[in-house]
């Protein structure tokens, strides 16, 4: 009899939220959007979708899996039109099922509408219950569907008025792309938690979560969509609305530390350079005597470069990542659970044996994965293993679209730095302080959301 083998997630690191991409005015809109989503794949790997408009008809295709698994020649051909929006999802709200894959698409009293959402609303339960009492029937468990119901119920006669009226009722994080038969709209919530930029390709307007997608399609970067700004694009061109009262800027600092691709600019600034500067600050604030600086690939790479440069300690790629690992891993029985960590990362024994090393990490969440990784390094013959983390300890969850575990599961919420170091099996552990982290950033402290570090939430 065939025995079912246990299936493990490869990583229990923090999960990215979602990525959004859109284009208006291009003959090959669906294919360009496919490429845009491909570049943003790191922001979500559970589902992907594209909705197009040819000016009359709105059509879409969504599926579970990676962009390359969901789309092929055939289904891209079934998406004709000059306007498209796309979404890749890691489920932060709503179950991970196909009906929750975005863009969310409806026919309602004003015509066709599709919506792609990056972020998380914090007043979902309240709005949903109000809408249900008023007769709305929900098709999904996504908070993004609430926006559509608000739009459908709005008293505003013009679409723009209805949109503004609906958005004014939302609380939380939302960078949105909307598509109607003849318009594409890109907007950011008044706090500006999640990034969204505007570009141009051969006269067509493009929106993207990160600039790495613009680079791939060879589009020109124009500017960031500002917090609280709505940009409406149609055949006549682009126009901007700023209908929200002023709000505290709350750019997600973790986009710079971990989430965004290092070759991207987010919020208008280079992720690579910010990350490298975090490493420099870390070397000044938490120095350590050792022989080698080793990045935890790939997210620790840029900070490790900065750490090595400032400390003068040589950098070696002492841990190698297997880039061809899927999202889950079938583990043969009778083998250690540690295998699911090893399958992704493997130490280079010849580099680290008998050496005192400092591993550069971007964050420690539960500490369990780090513990296994450090055990693997010890087994590979390392003499001393130290760890330096390029941000302060994560003590609080995120309500704005990043899949943090509960407060109880975050190891730093209940353990001191010394206790965490001991649990992981380190010779020493050091985190970058909040002030030093800010020093490395391209914006001052009052521009950022720091809630997962300090527990002060700009909106709950
Ligand atoms: S709580 Fe942390 S991860 Fe969430 S938006 Fe704020 S800075 Fe980003």
Neighbours of 95 (CB within 10 A): 10
**Residue nearest to ligand 1 atom 5, measured at CA:** 252
Ligand 1 pocket: which of 251, 259, 452 to mutate (most atoms within 8 A of CB) = 452
Q: Please say whether the beta carbons of 150 and 166 come within 8 A.
A: yes
pLDDT value of position 308:
98
Q: Please say whether the beta carbons of 116 and 148 come within 8 A.
A: no
**Residue nearest to ligand 1 atom 2, measured at CA:** 452
449 belongs to the catalytic site: no
HSE toward the beta carbon, residue 162, CA cutoff 13 A? 15
Ligand 1 pocket: which of 194, 250, 252, 448 to mutate (most atoms within 8 A of CB) = 252
Residue 404 CA: nearest ligand 1 atom is 3
pLDDT value of position 342:
78
pLDDT value of position 10:
44
Query: What is the 252 CA–ligand 1 centroid distance (Å)?
Result: 5
pLDDT value of position 117:
95
pLDDT value of position 270:
98
Which residue positions in the chain have pLDDT lower than 70? Answer: 1-16, 91-96, 326-338
Query: What is the 121 CA–ligand 1 centroid distance (Å)?
Result: 13
**pTM of whole model > 0.85?**
yes
pLDDT value of position 9:
46
Contacts of 298 (CB under 8 A, 6+ apart): 321
What's the Cα-to-Cα distance from 359 to each of 154, 308, 386, 417, rounded to whole Å?
A: 54, 11, 6, 16
**Residue nearest to ligand 1 atom 6, measured at CA:** 449
pLDDT value of position 217:
98
The dihedral through the CA atoms of 61, 64, 70, 75 has a sign that is: negative
Query: What is the 302 CA–ligand 1 centroid distance (Å)?
Result: 20
pLDDT value of position 8:
44
pLDDT value of position 383:
98
Residue entry with tokens 């659970």: 337
């Amino acid at each position: 009899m065939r025995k079912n083998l246990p299936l493990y997630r490869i990583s229990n690191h923090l999960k990215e939220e979602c990525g959004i991409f859109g284009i208006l005015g291009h003959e090959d809109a669906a294919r360009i959007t496919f490429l845009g989503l491909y570049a943003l794949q790191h922001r979500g790997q559970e589902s992907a979708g594209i909705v197009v408009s040819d000016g009359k008809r709105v059509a879409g295709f969504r599926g579970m899996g990676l962009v390359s698994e969901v789309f092929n020649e055939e289904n891209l051909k079934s998406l004709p039109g000059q306007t498209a929006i796309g979404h890749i999802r890691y489920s932060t709200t709503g179950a991970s099922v196909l009906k929750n894959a975005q863009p969310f698409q409806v026919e309602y009293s004003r015509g066709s509408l599709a919506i792609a959402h990056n972020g998380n609303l914090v007043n979902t339960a309240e709005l949903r219950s109000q809408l249900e009492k008023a007769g709305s029937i929900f098709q999904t468990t996504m908070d993004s569907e609430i926006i559509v119901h608000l739009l459908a119920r709005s008293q505003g006669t013009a679409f723009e008025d209805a949109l503004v009226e609906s958005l004014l009722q939302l609380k939380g994080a939302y960078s949105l792309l909307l598509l109607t038969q003849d318009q594409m709209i890109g907007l950011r919530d008044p706090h500006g938690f999640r990034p969204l930029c505007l570009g141009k390709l051969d006269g067509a307007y493009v929106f993207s979560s990160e600039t790495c997608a613009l680079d791939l399609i060879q589009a020109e970067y124009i500017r960031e969509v500002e917090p609280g700004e709505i940009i409406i694009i149609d055949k006549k061109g682009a126009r901007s609305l700023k209908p929200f009262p002023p709000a505290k800027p709350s750019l997600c600092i973790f986009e710079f530390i971990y989430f965004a691709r290092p070759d991207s600019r987010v919020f208008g600034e280079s992720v690579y350079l910010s990350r490298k500067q975090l490493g420099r600050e870390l070397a000044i604030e938490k120095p350590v005597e050792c022989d080698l600086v080793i990045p935890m690939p790939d997210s620790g790479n840029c900070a490790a470069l900065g750490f090595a440069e400032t400390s003068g300690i040589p950098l070696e790629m002492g841990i190698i990542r297997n880039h061809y690992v899927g999202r889950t891993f079938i583990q043969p029985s009778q083998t250690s659970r540690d295998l699911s960590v090893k399958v992704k990362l493997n130490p280079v024994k010849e580099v680290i044996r008998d050496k005192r090393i400092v591993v550069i990490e971007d964050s420690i969440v539960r500490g369990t994965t780090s513990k296994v990784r450090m055990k693997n390094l010890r087994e590979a013959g390392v003499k001393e293993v130290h760890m330096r983390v390029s941000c302060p300890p994560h003590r609080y969850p995120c309500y704005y679209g990043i899949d943090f575990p509960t407060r109880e599961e975050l190891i730093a919420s209940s353990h001191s730095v010394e206790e965490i170091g001991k649990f992981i099996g380190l010779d020493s552990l050091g985190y970058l302080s909040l002030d030093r982290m800010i020093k490395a950033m391209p914006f001052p402290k009052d521009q950022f959301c720091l809630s997962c570090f300090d527990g002060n939430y700009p909106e709950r």
